[in-house]
Amino acid sequence: MAFDISEAQVVLTEAELGLRLPPVYRSMMMACNGGTAWLKESNDEDDTWQLYPIKDASDRKRLSRSCNHILAETKSAKEWGGFPDDALAIAADGGGDLLVILPDASDASAYGDGIFIFFHELGELKPFADDLSRFTIE
């Protein structure tokens, strides 16, 4: 079960990233930091994703529950062939593919809203959703 996360913890992660997180992603993660997500209009089990939490170091229990945070998972994914240097991993499907966000082309200080799939076997990105609001999260 996912916990909420404070704005202060999100700001710490944004400082480490050097970019602001997209507003929709940010607010949804502050309410439910991680969990299972799927597209609202999809009945396909292949569209189920495990959201990585944002690192929460506010206490030992929250740090333990967020150890697979977006910073750690992105660092790990960058060791794979073809993972884009500027991508931020936000979720996994359990089979190696990842959901990622990319820097905003019109705002160099933030990530864009768009959600992309990184296909690990092909080393390719494909647009997937306009933003996280298209997902149901539990």
Residue 110: HSE in the Cβ half-sphere, 13 Å Cα cutoff: 13
Mean pLDDT over 8-26 rounds to 96
Residue 39 pLDDT exceeds 90: no
* All structural domains of the chain with their residue ranges: 7-137
- Dist CA 17 CA 26 (whole Å): 14
**Higher pLDDT among residues 109 and 62, named by residue:** 109
Closest CA to 116 of 108, 128, 104: 128
The CA-based dihedral angle spanning residues 22, 26, 28, 34, taken in that order and rounded to the nearest 10 degrees: 110
Residue 1 pLDDT exceeds 60: no
Mean pLDDT over 57-72 rounds to 89
Superfamily for the 7-137 domain: SMI1/KNR4-like (3.40.1580.10)
The pLDDT of residue 62 = 87
Mean pLDDT over 97-115 rounds to 96
Query: What's the predicted TM-score (pTM) here?
Result: 0.92
Residues 6 or more apart whose Cβ sits within 8 Å of residue 53: 2, 5, 29, 33, 34, 65, 66, 68, 69, 70
- Dist CA 86 CA 105 (whole Å): 12
